Structure formats: structure tokens, C-alpha cells
């Protein structure tokens, strides 16, 4: 008590300033915003404490917090009693030897990672030639898709030159060695702009290399571009326009990993890296017809990436096939120790395992909502049955366990905190979109979320995690419709479970891709990728490419 009194005396000028900003009459209205009601006596008693809190806020606001400063609270998707395999087994990527260059060089745009790896490893094409090929495609098509922020030509050619020299010397690093790729432009790379897709940061340079970039660099991959994202990782509108769906350029690509999905599907790169907080990998993958893996929360360190939400942000590959996604995930999963929510878990992918040994469920409560039995979602189930997979009907835990919008409370509070000074100092005025559902307004509204309610929302989240794990842990894979699956996206992002979205055909009304989503157990991306690979080998939908970009 003595120390508190001394603090108040020393900081009396600030306290007087705080007194000027709030009166007793303000408190009843503020309480109503929190769904509270106080008597006048209670309000009179509260008043001094409220002013003291405002003093602390003012002192705190004098200290700058960059976006890369984390919370001291670290989220984990693991609930008590869970055990995981700790042994990493060897993966044989089996790079084919008999791959030839196509008669039409443009067809290289849609070669798989294994095919490109074969060409490079067997010296049928150099990394420099392949890199130049994709740089040319980016320059040709990037503007029409509005998918590219920075073309990293000098860096790409230097990395390709180094890859060729190493391979010539017999130092082959694996299937990504010499393979071009792109990054969502919220990952920092020294010497490049990292714009976060937002006008206030369009000239920002961060002197840091993101973890995922360093892992890919160490694998020998070649960074050719940084792709668009919806401004501050929302949607597909960025400061330069709107990223397009390569199947129908009159439509947006969805987001926020907008450019990563659009460019990969259009053959501007063999693969790209995206992030998801709530739908930002799955949604553009579904819209554009990509194969997008949203790994278990914490499977990949986020160091060097823009923070939107500490307990929700995830990094994942966006590819054209599940097998490509498995290769990329293999090289980027893990941690550098700088992201305290990230862990090193084994990834024991067996590309030739028997899919019939998987325990596969399908979310009957979601499928029953699809009354048109000609829809591709139902055809997906038929394909798995034809492969000899026993499909077990189950109800995905939804309305019974998700009774109010926990996600909106958690994501809004964390995002507003991550961009505190963005709101406080009116940086948000420079944003190109200012609607009711855009970040500037969302951040402002979120300032009125009480800390108590945010904490209690996360306590409800813990209960949700326990209940959802009880159901998901009965299966290796659960098949869910991507669209129209209730609260599944919010639920599984909150619980941290992995999801994999991949193309399944075309919508007969719009001739745009349809998709399905597989949900898996924590840290079991391998089962999802095996199940998707088997489907893609049986159907070939992953080998359909937008005609305008062939």
C-alpha cells in the first residue's frame, strides 16, 4: 500500500491528466459496455482505482512495442493426458529417374516437385534455367492476377547459381534443392520489403530472416517472389488491388494467403508458403483449386512472420498436390526456439502406406445439409469407398460444444493488441479499406473487450479443446465439406487441429473449383496427406490447370 501511495505521489502530474480524461459520470456507460451494472456507491468507490489504471495505461503507451514482441502467455493445443510419438523415421522421397523435359517448355509450370527434382538432380535442367523460367512466368502473369508484391530476381539467381554449384560438386540436399518458390509477404527476408499487404507498410524493410525462409534456404530452395496477402492478413484486397482467382479472374482469390494460392495454381511457382489464423490457407486453396495444408498449431515456428494472433497464427504450404505439400512440410516443420508455442514433432509420412488401414470418418451432420447428391462432396465419399476405405459416419462436434462465438472474442482481442499503435496513432487512416468489417474498425471495436472476458473466452476454449479432442482422437482422418460445415473452421483453428484442403472437381454453375477438407489429430499431418494423395492418384483433379495460364 505504501509503495502504491508513493507511486501516485511521484506521478501526480500524470494522475491529474488521467483525472481530466474520465469522470465519475463516465463509469456507468462504460460498465454497460461490459454487460455490468454498478450502484452509485460502487462507482464512487471504483473511481480512484479507474484513474490509477488509466495512469498505468498512459505509462505503458509511452513505450513502443513492435509487432514482433510476443505475449508472455504461450498457447498449446495439447490437453492433459495426451501422448505423442517422439521418434522421427526416415522418409524415402523416391525421386524418379526417368523424367524428361516436356516438348512444350511451358508444361514445366505444372510439373510436380518430384518431377522437377528429378530434372535438376539428373542435370537435365539447371536451377538457374528453371528459376529464369518461373521468373518469366511471374513477370508475364503476375500483374493480371495481382498476386505479386516483390520479384526477388537477384536473390533468386544467386541462390540458383549456388544450388547448381553444389549439385555439380555432388552435394545434393534433397527434393527442394534448386526448386523455385514464393513466400506470402508477411515473412521477413533481409534485403527485401515486407509489406504485410497494407499501405502503411508498403515500404517496410525488416532486417530479419523468417524461420520458414531459413529452413527452405537450407533445403536449397530458391525464393523467386513475395506474394500478395489481404491487408494485414484479411481477405484478398491489398494496397495494390485485389488478387484474382486464376480460374475466373473476375473473382477474387479469397484470402488472406491470396497470392500464394493464386500464383501456385497458375503455375507461377511450384509451391508457396501461406499462413492461417482463421481460414487464410483453407479458403484461398478451396477457391483457387490448390492443395493447402494448415498444420497443427505450433508445428512450424512463426519467428520473422507478422503477428496477427499469438494463439491462432499458423504457417503452412500451398501446393498443387498432397505429395508436394508433404515434401515442403517435411522441410519447414519444427522450431528455432524463438516461437515459444512451436515444437519439434516427428513427421512420419509414408507415401506408399495402405490407406485402407486408416480409420476414416465423415461428418454426417455436415454432409446431411447437402441435399443435392450430385455435389462433388458426395462423390468424394464414393471415391474413398471405391478404394476400399470403410467410411464411418460421425457427428463433428459443433453446436453442442460451440455455443457462442469464442473465436471472434479471441482473434479480435489479440489482433487489436498486436496492432495497438496502429490504432492509437491513427496509422489505420492510411488503410485502403475502411468498412465496418475491415481491420481499422475491428481493432477499434476490440479495444472495448475487457481483459476478464478475453481470459474467460480462453477458458471456454480449453473446455472446447478437451471435448473436440475426445471425438477427433477416435479417427485418423475426418472428411468434412469445406463450405457449409458449420463452425468447423472456427472450432479447429481454436483447438489447433490440422486441416488439408484439396480440389475435387468443378462447380457446374460457375466452372470454378470445388474442394473437400480433411481434419486430423494433433501433429498427425502424415495421415491427412496420405489420404489426400490416394484420392488425387485415383481422380487426377490436382492435375487440372486453369486454361488461361497454360
What are 194-227's pLDDT values in tens digits? 999 999 999 999 999 999 999 999 999 999 999 9
Q: Write the burial class of residue 64 (CB in 10 Å: 0-12 exposed, 13-18 middle, 19+ buried).
A: exposed
Same domain assignment for residues 374 and 262: yes
Confidence of residue 3 (pLDDT cuts 50, 70, 90): low
Q: Does 104 have pLDDT greater than 60?
A: yes
Give the pairing of strands 180-184 and 222-227: parallel
**H or E stretch at 499:** strand 499-506
Residue 241: inside a domain, yes or no?
yes
Q: Give the residue numbers spanning the domain of 15.
A: 2-61
Q: Can you give the pLDDT at residue 540? A: 94
Q: Can you give the pLDDT at residue 93? A: 94
Q: Does 10 have pLDDT greater than 50?
A: no
Nearest alpha carbon to residue 75 among 216, 274, 277: 277
Residue 75: inside a domain, yes or no?
no
Nearest alpha carbon to residue 507 among 383, 362, 368, 372: 372
Spatial separation of the C-alpha atoms in residues 263 and 260, rounded to whole Å: 6
Same domain assignment for residues 50 and 183: no
Q: Does 19 have pLDDT greater than 60?
A: no
| 359 within 8 A of 475, measured Cβ to Cβ | yes
Condensed to tens digits (0 to 9), the pLDDT of residues 226-253 reads: 999 999 999 999 999 999 999 999 999 9
Q: Can you give the pLDDT at residue 56? A: 86
Nearest alpha carbon to residue 234 among 258, 217, 215, 212: 258
Same domain assignment for residues 29 and 135: no
Residue 464: inside a domain, yes or no?
yes
Q: Does 15 have pLDDT greater than 90?
A: no
Mean pLDDT of 290-319: 98
How many domains is the chain partitioned into structurally? 2
**H or E stretch at 481:** strand 477-481
Q: Can you give the pLDDT at residue 12? A: 46
Spatial separation of the C-alpha atoms in residues 17 and 258, rounded to whole Å: 46
Same domain assignment for residues 249 and 389: yes
Same domain assignment for residues 296 and 218: yes
Same domain assignment for residues 127 and 190: yes
Torsion of CA 318, 320, 321, 326, to 10 degrees: -30
Condensed to tens digits (0 to 9), the pLDDT of residues 221-231 reads: 999 999 999 99
Mean pLDDT of 12-26: 66
Residue 369: inside a domain, yes or no?
yes
Burial 453-477 (b: 16+ CB within 10 A, else e): ebeebbebbeebbebbbeebeebbb
Q: Write the burial class of residue 21 (CB in 10 Å: 0-12 exposed, 13-18 middle, 19+ buried).
A: exposed
Residues 6+ apart with CB under 8 A from 90: none
Residue 231: inside a domain, yes or no?
yes
Same domain assignment for residues 22 and 114: no
| 180 within 8 A of 113, measured Cβ to Cβ | no
Same domain assignment for residues 486 and 542: yes
Q: Does 17 have pLDDT greater than 70?
A: no
Spatial separation of the C-alpha atoms in residues 152 and 237, rounded to whole Å: 22
**Mean pLDDT computed over every residue of the chain:** 94
Residue 88: inside a domain, yes or no?
no
Same domain assignment for residues 176 and 27: no
Mean pLDDT of 292-305: 98
Condensed to tens digits (0 to 9), the pLDDT of residues 354-365 reads: 999 999 999 999
User: What's the CATH number where 160 sits?
Assistant: 3.90.1300.10
Positions marked active-site: 184, 256, 280
CA distances from 235 to 102, 255, 273, 434 (A): 36, 4, 16, 13
Residue 72: inside a domain, yes or no?
no
Q: What secondary structure, in 3-state letters, does 76-141 show? A: CCCCCCCCCCCCCCCCCCCCCCCCCCCCCHHHHHHCCHHHHHHHHHCCCCCHHHHHHHHHHHHHHH
Same domain assignment for residues 150 and 27: no
| 324 within 8 A of 270, measured Cβ to Cβ | yes
CA distances from 383 to 356, 380, 496, 534 (A): 13, 5, 28, 10
Same domain assignment for residues 127 and 47: no
> Which residues is 187 bridged to in the sheet?
305
Mean pLDDT of 39-66: 91
Residue 260: inside a domain, yes or no?
yes
Same domain assignment for residues 116 and 39: no
Amino acid at each position: 500500500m505504501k509503495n502504491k501511495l508513493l507511486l501516485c505521489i511521484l506521478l501526480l502530474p500524470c494522475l491529474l491528466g488521467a483525472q481530466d480524461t474520465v469522470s465519475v459520470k463516465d463509469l456507468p456507460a462504460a460498465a454497460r459496455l461490459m454487460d455490468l451494472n454498478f450502484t452509485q456507491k460502487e462507482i464512487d468507490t471504483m473511481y480512484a482505482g479507474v484513474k490509477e489504471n488509466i495512469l498505468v495505461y498512459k505509462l505503458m503507451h509511452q513505450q513502443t512495442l513492435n509487432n514482433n514482441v510476443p505475449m508472455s502467455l504461450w498457447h498449446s493445443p495439447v490437453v492433459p493426458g495426451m501422448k505423442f510419438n517422439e521418434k522421427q523415421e526416415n522418409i524415402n522421397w523416391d525421386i524418379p529417374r526417368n523424367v524428361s523435359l516436356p516438348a512444350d517448355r511451358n508444361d514445366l509450370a505444372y510439373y510436380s516437385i518430384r518431377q522437377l527434382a528429378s530434372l535438376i538432380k539428373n542435370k537435365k535442367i539447371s536451377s538457374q534455367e528453371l528459376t529464369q523460367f518461373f521468373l518469366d512466368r511471374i513477370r508475364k502473369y503476375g500483374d493480371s492476377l495481382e498476386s505479386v508484391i516483390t520479384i526477388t530476381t537477384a536473390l533468386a539467381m544467386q541462390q540458383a547459381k549456388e544450388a547448381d554449384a553444389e549439385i555439380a560438386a555432388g552435394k545434393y540436399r534433397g527434393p527442394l534443392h534448386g526448386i523455385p518458390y514464393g513466400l506470402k509477404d508477411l515473412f521477413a527476408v533481409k534485403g527485401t520489403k515486407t509489406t504485410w499487404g497494407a499501405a502503411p507498410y508498403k515500404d517496410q524493410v525488416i532486417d530479419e530472416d523468417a524461420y520458414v525462409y531459413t529452413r527452405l534456404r537450407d533445403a536449397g530452395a530458391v525464393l523467386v517472389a513475395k506474394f500478395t496477402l489481404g491487408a494485414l492478413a484479411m481477405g484478398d484486397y491489398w494496397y495494390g488491388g485485389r488478387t484474382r482467382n486464376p480460374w475466373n479472374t473476375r473473382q477474387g482469390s479469397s484470402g488472406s494467403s491470396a497470392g500464394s494460392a493464386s500464383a501456385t495454381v497458375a503455375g507461377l511457382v511450384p509451391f508457396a508458403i501461406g499462413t492461417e489464423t482463421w481460414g487464410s490457407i483453407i479458403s484461398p486453396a478451396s477457391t483457387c483449386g490448390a492443395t493447402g495444408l494448415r498444420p497443427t498449431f505450433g508445428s512450424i515456428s512463426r519467428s520473422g512472420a507478422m503477428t496477427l494472433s499469438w494463439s491462432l497464427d499458423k504457417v503452412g504450404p500451398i501446393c498443387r498436390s498432397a505429395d508436394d505439400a508433404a515434401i515442403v512440410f517435411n522441410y519447414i516443420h519444427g522450431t528455432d526456439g524463438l516461437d515459444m508455442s512451436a515444437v519439434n514433432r516427428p513427421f512420419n509420412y509414408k507415401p506408399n502406406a495402405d490407406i485402407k488401414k486408416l480409420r476414416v470418418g465423415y461428418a454426417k451432420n455436415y454432409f446431411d445439409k447437402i441435399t443435392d447428391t450430385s455435389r462433388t462432396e458426395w462423390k468424394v465419399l464414393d471415391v474413398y469407398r471405391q478404394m476400399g476405405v470403410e467410411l464411418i459416419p460421425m457427428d463433428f462436434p459443433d453446436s453442442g460444444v460451440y455455443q457462442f462465438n469464442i473465436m471472434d472474442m479471441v482473434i479480435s482481442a489479440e489482433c487489436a493488441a498486436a496492432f495497438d499503435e496502429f490504432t492509437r496513432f491513427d496509422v489505420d487512416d492510411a488503410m485502403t479499406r475502411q468498412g465496418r468489417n475491415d481491420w481499422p474498425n475491428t481493432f477499434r471495436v476490440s479495444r472495448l473487450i475487457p481483459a476478464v472476458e478475453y481470459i474467460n473466452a480462453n477458458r471456454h476454449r480449453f473446455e472446447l479443446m478437451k471435448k473436440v479432442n475426445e471425438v477427433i482422437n477416435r479417427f485418423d482422418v475426418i472428411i468434412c465439406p469445406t463450405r457449409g460445415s458449420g463452425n468447423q473452421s472456427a472450432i479447429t483453428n481454436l483447438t489447433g487441429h490440422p486441416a488439408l484442403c484439396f480440389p475435387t472437381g468443378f462447380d457446374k454453375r460457375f466452372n470454378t473449383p470445388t474442394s473437400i477438407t480433411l481434419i486430423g489429430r494433433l501433429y498427425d499431418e502424415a495421415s491427412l496427406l496420405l489420404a489426400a494423395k490416394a484420392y488425387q492418384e485415383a481422380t487426377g483433379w490436382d492435375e487440372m490447370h486453369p486454361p488461361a495460364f497454360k
